[in-house]
């Protein structure tokens, strides 16, 4: 049984790492702010769930597992909230979905 849990733990850790990597790649490759934010937030949340789940399986039933579960619940509550707040702030700042924001160039004198 411990061998199965260890294997499952490594699968969770590996998949979590893949999700975090894909989220970082999506944040670089997507065309505008909203799609970048969506790619990063969804994969970040899933990556955190898988990585913390893998670490919880490694830790067994201990106080560390309970602490990791509390951290996971905190991340599941705050990550989507932060993404929503960022999207709302961008919309209020006038960045429309589907447009790439441009940075004004300084004038040469």
C-alpha–C-alpha distance, residues 71 and 109, integer Å: 53
Average pLDDT over residues 67-93: 91
pLDDT, position 97: 82
Q: Is the pLDDT at 102 greater than 90, yes or no?
A: no
Buried b (16+ CB within 10 A) or exposed e, 46-76: bbbbbbbbbbbbbeeeeeebeebeeebeeee
Instruction: Give me 90's structure tokens.
Output: 């961008």
pTM of the model: 0.81
Q: What is the DSSP letter of 75?
A: H
Domain ranges for the chain: 2-80
pLDDT class for 109, splitting at 50, 70, 90? low
Condensed to tens digits (0 to 9), the pLDDT of residues 24-38 reads 888 888 888 888 888
Predicted confidence (pLDDT) at residue 48 exceeds the cutoff of 80: yes
| Residue 62 main-chain phi, psi, to 5 deg | -135, 180
């Amino acid at each position: 049984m411990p061998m199965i849990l260890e294997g499952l733990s490594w699968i969770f850790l590996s998949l979590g790492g893949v999700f975090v990597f894909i989220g970082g790649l999506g944040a670089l490759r997507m065309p505008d702010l909203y799609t970048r934010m969506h790619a990063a937030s969804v994969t970040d949340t899933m990556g955190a769930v898988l990585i913390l789940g893998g670490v919880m399986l490694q830790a067994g039933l201990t106080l560390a597992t309970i602490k990791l579960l509390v951290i996971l619940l905190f991340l599941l509550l705050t990550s989507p909230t932060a993404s929503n707040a960022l999207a709302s702030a961008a919309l209020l700042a006038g960045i429309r979905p589907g447009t790439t924001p441009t940075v004004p160039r300084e004038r040469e004198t």
